[in-house]
Chain A
Amino acid sequence: MNVLDLSRWQFGITTVYHFLFVPITIGLGFLVAGFETAWVRTRRERWLRLTRFYGKLFLINFALGVVTGIVQEFQFGMNWSAYSRQVGNIFGAPLAIEALLAFFLESTFLGLWIFGWDRLPPRLHAACMWIAATGTLLSAYFILTANAWMQHPVGSVYNPATRQDELVSFAQVLFNPAQLVGFPHVIAGCFLTAGSLVAGVALWQVLRPGIGEEHALAFRHALKAGASTAIVAAVAVVITGDTQGKLFTTQYQPMKMAAAEALYHTAQPAPFSLLTIGSLNGSHPVFEIDLPRLLSFLATGNWSAKVAGIDNLQQQYQAQFGPGSYIPVVPVIYWSFRLMVAMGLLALLISVVALWVTRKGRTPAHGKRGLWRKLLILSGIALPLLPLIGNSFGWVMTEMGRQPWLVYGQLTTAAGVSANSAGEVLASLIVFTLLYGALAVIEGGLMLKYIKAGLIDEPLPTYGPGQRGGGGTGPAEPLHLVY
């Protein structure tokens, strides 16, 4: 493999891996903050137990999100230096602002939250988690701004003298229409992910034989909160995804959407493909089952509209950009799209069922050993995983679907790569993959351990006011060891 392929593999692996932790962090931060606020307001202990329980899962997950995030910022320069050199004016700014506005907020206030139980007043302690969660949201906005610019470059102009894209309007970059539809889609996906995690774990706990009444009641509340979050978020994912799809089909990246539908020839009206088996190189379909006119409607809102096909777009782009292939790997895009949608819908379905079977204090099939009960337990285990898979396929679709472009219509991926040696990149690819694999095993083991441990009836926090005594020369205080 050459440097380009190796660098792409590395970016793909490290980014998909990083984004396993990110959506949990974003969504779960708000849910944990909500649990803690419920505790502070009601003083019902179950909310404190839930705060502590899901807070631990949050922290185990957050650790890996942080450390894999450092790689993300560094590898634009390490592996994509030609790209960085050309686009730093526009792409670098949101990254710098993300660090300044978001990363400091997250890290500082999480530090306060972890270590501050005995030192901060209750409301302030809960506020720390709200602030940290807001930080994750800000972080998402800025990094997705940067990505939206790659998908649909606006607010910039290429200066041939400096060979750089230069900023014309930062407001246009920040409020890029691709961002305004993309950001809600991703954030809704984050809440679907976190809601599913909370609900899935809670469902499994509620169904656990021998769980105490009080803990079961606490997890019923968590189940309700998690499943409701997941359901609302899933609907939002569908709506925002549909809006995004229409915008990209009709205006920004028709090729990506044509590939997602394996629509080779422009059609009016266009059918929706239920199943297309393509040739191995993805150049033409071999077997298709279609629903007539549906794609026209999905892509444009009009049942008889024209939808551009891959082959026609290829001709058009060759005329526009010069010779070369402008077709992404069709089978990957087609199946990523379908798997993304399927995972999201399945998570929605399970969340609805989980809410239904526990309605009004019911306990599903308690004591029974039937198939239904086993299926529910299995659903609880599967639920947290489904959105993670869906998110990953979503990114695979949107990033690989943009190929061969790195910045759509302006810079190809092949032109953006660093002049590293293949050996260097192969070394880093192997090291990252092995390290990330090992960390995944450790992280997964810890998650399972704490999920299985369930709620813990610890003593209540002392909530020191944190204002006594002087500085470093004052009397020592009792040891608060968290790590």
Chain B
Amino acid sequence: MHLSDLWFIAIAVLWAGYFVLEGFDFGVGILLPFLSRGDDTTRRVMINTIGPVWDGNEVWLLTAGGATFAAFPAWYAALFSSFYLPLLLILIALIIRGVSFEYRGKRDGARWRRGWDAAIFLCSLVPALLWGVAFGNIVRGIPLNAAGHFTGNFFTFLNPYALLGGVTTLALCTLHGALFLALKTTGELRQRANATAAAVSLVAIVAGAGFLAWTGAAYLAPASYGGAASATRAASVALAALAAVTLIGAALANRRGREGVAFAANAVAILAAVGSLFTALYPRVLPSTTSLAYSLTTANAASAATTLAIMTVVACVFLPLVLAYQAWTYWVFRKRLAGPPPATFATLAMPPSPTAPSAPRR
């Protein structure tokens, strides 16, 4: 195996990790207005389930982006410049979303918090949808010319297959968030999350099965890429089947109240679905719909061997370390959150405002 193949796998793993982790915090954001039913304490419980981890989850995206830049400069360049406007929308959403979490509790006032809560909802929904549209278009291919320049426009991205991809990621993230909330909360909120997961899982199963079936039928790497492609075509179909099975398993486990199993099964479903898309791509990284010859592949988009070798060493040393301390964080914050809050030190961080002398908020 070439190092460039290894890095293709590494980037697939980083994206899969990103969707598994940020997927549930997008989901919690999307469910915020629905499961809280207007109650501020419930909203805060929901946001605090992801509070310690959402920022670390988002770093998976930055690492995926950085790894693509280093290992496949031509892929990074073509991808990011082609998807200019969708990425702009995603960036704006991620900017406002991050600020919303940090700033919503920093002033006392119902209007202030309602505004940020609306922003959390919208800015979780937009990337959860757009990442699916983007990946649909990556797998389907975009019009690239011989120089690797994008020759389409914004509406090129709005094709039925990619839009179905968007619905799929939106449903999967929402489901993932509901399963996470069922796992991390108690009482009425837990029950609501449970019921919501049951409903959303139907949408996720239908959309996901449709999207992966369409991928398998129409967008696997063409046979002209030879032996490697035929193996990965089979792998892609197998991973799609695994995704379907685990997704259904997650829905069943949720119905039986096995929350840990349901969340884990859905995480596997997301991993398998992302794996299925990347194996469908291989050995291409960004297909050109203009001409097969203009497609970017792991071979023609990769960095030279020196860079790949150094990056491999760095990743082998530090990725296990990162996984270890991220896992430790989840362990520290493993307990369910319940309300209403007693006064604890962490909640008493907000200075008394003139109107509310002892507002227990940071």
**A residues whose Cβ falls under 8 Å from a Cβ of B:** 52, 56, 59-60, 62-64, 66-71, 73-74, 76-79, 81-82, 84-93, 95-101, 103-105, 107-112, 114-120, 159, 162, 164, 166-168, 170, 418-420, 424, 427-428, 431, 435, 439, 442, 446, 449-450, 453-454, 456, 458-462, 466, 469, 471-474, 476-483
Chain B hits for A459, CB < 8 A? 343, 345, 348
CB <8 Å contact, A60 and B336: no
Considering the complex, give the chain B residue whose CB is closest to the CB of A439.
B99
Considering the complex, give the chain A residue whose CB is closest to the CB of B150.
A419
CB <8 Å contact, A118 and B345: yes
Chain A hits for B67, CB < 8 A? 96, 99
Q: How far is the CB of A88 from chain B (nearest CB, A)?
A: 2
- Could you give 10 example pairs across A and B, Cβ below 8 Å? A86-B73, A88-B69, A103-B59, A107-B56, A109-B325, A114-B52, A450-B351, A453-B351, A461-B346, A482-B362
CA distance A74 to B102 in the complex (A): 22
Chain B hits for A482, CB < 8 A? 48, 51, 105, 346-347, 349, 362
CA distance A277 to B288 in the complex (A): 54
Q: How far is the CB of B125 from chain A (nearest CB, A)?
A: 17
CB <8 Å contact, B346 and A166: no
**B interface, size bucket:** 35 or more
Considering the complex, give the chain B residue whose CB is closest to the CB of A115.
B52
Cβ-neighbour of A96 out of B53, B70, B88, B259 (below 8 A): B70
Chain A hits for B102, CB < 8 A? 59-60, 62-63, 483
Given the known interface contacts A81-B80, A170-B306, A456-B351, the answer about A479 and B341 at a Cβ–Cβ threshold of 8 Å is: yes
Cβ-neighbour of B73 out of A89, A115, A117, A168 (below 8 A): A89
Is B66 part of the contact surface with A, judged by Cβ < 8 Å? yes
CB <8 Å contact, B84 and A118: no
CB <8 Å contact, A88 and B66: no
Chain B hits for A168, CB < 8 A? 306
Is B210 part of the contact surface with A, judged by Cβ < 8 Å? no
Considering the complex, give the chain B residue whose CB is closest to the CB of A466.
B332
CB <8 Å contact, B329 and A108: yes
Cβ-neighbour of A483 out of B44, B76, B78 (below 8 A): B44
Chain A hits for B105, CB < 8 A? 482-483
State the 9 A-B residue pairs at the shortest beta-carbon distance, nearest first.
Answer: A88-B73, A77-B80, A92-B70, A92-B69, A96-B66, A453-B351, A81-B77, A63-B102, A81-B81
CB <8 Å contact, A67 and B348: no
Given the known interface contacts A84-B69, A472-B259, the answer about A104 and B303 at a Cβ–Cβ threshold of 8 Å is: no
Q: How far is the CB of A471 from chain B (nearest CB, A)?
A: 5
Considering the complex, give the chain B residue whose CB is closest to the CB of A162.
B304
Q: How far is the CB of B230 from chain A (nearest CB, A)?
A: 28
Given the known interface contacts A108-B329, A114-B52, the answer about A481 and B59 at a Cβ–Cβ threshold of 8 Å is: no
CB <8 Å contact, A68 and B81: no
CA distance A162 to B148 in the complex (A): 14
CA distance A68 to B91 in the complex (A): 9
Considering the complex, give the chain A residue whose CB is closest to the CB of B259.
A472
Q: Is the interface of B mostly helix, strand, loop or mixed?
A: helix
**B residues whose Cβ falls under 8 Å from a Cβ of A:** 44-45, 47-48, 51-53, 55-56, 58-59, 61-63, 65-74, 76-81, 84-85, 87-88, 91-92, 94-96, 98-99, 101-107, 147-150, 183-184, 186, 259-260, 303-304, 306-307, 310-311, 314-315, 318-319, 322, 325-326, 329, 332-349, 351-352, 361-362
Given A67-B96, A115-B52, A167-B307, 8 additional A-B pairs, CB 8 A? A63-B101, A77-B79, A85-B148, A92-B303, A93-B307, A170-B306, A418-B84, A483-B101
Given the known interface contacts A70-B62, A96-B311, A103-B62, the answer about A77 and B319 at a Cβ–Cβ threshold of 8 Å is: no
Chain A hits for B65, CB < 8 A? 73-74, 77, 99
Chain A hits for B77, CB < 8 A? 77, 81-82, 84-85, 88, 418
Q: How far is the CB of B49 from chain A (nearest CB, A)?
A: 10
CA distance A159 to B307 in the complex (A): 14
CA distance A105 to B344 in the complex (A): 26
Chain B hits for A107, CB < 8 A? 55-56, 58-59
Q: How far is the CB of A467 from chain B (nearest CB, A)?
A: 9
Considering the complex, give the chain B residue whose CB is closest to the CB of A63.
B102
Cβ-neighbour of B55 out of A110, A449, A454 (below 8 A): A110
Q: How far is the CB of B186 from chain A (nearest CB, A)?
A: 5
CB <8 Å contact, B98 and A63: yes
Q: How far is the CB of B258 from chain A (nearest CB, A)?
A: 10
Considering the complex, give the chain B residue whose CB is closest to the CB of A477.
B335
The CB with the most chain B CB atoms within 10 A, among A59, A105, A478, is that of: A478
CA distance A115 to B186 in the complex (A): 19
Cβ-neighbour of B340 out of A164, A418, A479 (below 8 A): A479
CB <8 Å contact, A100 and B345: no
Given the known interface contacts A67-B95, A419-B149, the answer about A78 and B84 at a Cβ–Cβ threshold of 8 Å is: yes
CB <8 Å contact, B73 and A92: yes
Chain B hits for A461, CB < 8 A? 345-346
CA distance A159 to B103 in the complex (A): 48
CA distance A28 to B311 in the complex (A): 31
CB <8 Å contact, B66 and A95: yes
CB <8 Å contact, B87 and A458: no
Chain A hits for B68, CB < 8 A? 92
CB <8 Å contact, A95 and B346: no
The CB with the most chain B CB atoms within 10 A, among A95, A419, A461, A480, is that of: A480
CB <8 Å contact, A118 and B344: yes
Given the known interface contacts A67-B99, A479-B341, A482-B347, the answer about A120 and B335 at a Cβ–Cβ threshold of 8 Å is: no
Q: How far is the CB of A459 from chain B (nearest CB, A)?
A: 6
Chain A hits for B335, CB < 8 A? 469, 471-472, 474, 476-477
CB <8 Å contact, B55 and A111: yes
Cβ-neighbour of B345 out of A97, A428, A442, A462 (below 8 A): A462
Q: How far is the CB of B55 from chain A (nearest CB, A)?
A: 4
Cβ-neighbour of A420 out of B58, B84, B259, B351 (below 8 A): B84
Given the known interface contacts A87-B73, A477-B335, the answer about A71 and B91 at a Cβ–Cβ threshold of 8 Å is: yes
Chain B hits for A71, CB < 8 A? 91, 95
Chain B hits for A86, CB < 8 A? 73
CA distance A344 to B95 in the complex (A): 31
CB <8 Å contact, A458 and B349: yes
CA distance A110 to B79 in the complex (A): 32
Q: How far is the CB of B121 from chain A (nearest CB, A)?
A: 15
CA distance A295 to B115 in the complex (A): 56
CB <8 Å contact, B352 and A456: yes
Chain B hits for A78, CB < 8 A? 80-81, 84, 87-88
CA distance A481 to B44 in the complex (A): 7
Chain A hits for B76, CB < 8 A? 76-77, 84, 88, 92
Considering the complex, give the chain A residue whose CB is closest to the CB of B106.
A446
Chain A hits for B183, CB < 8 A? 472
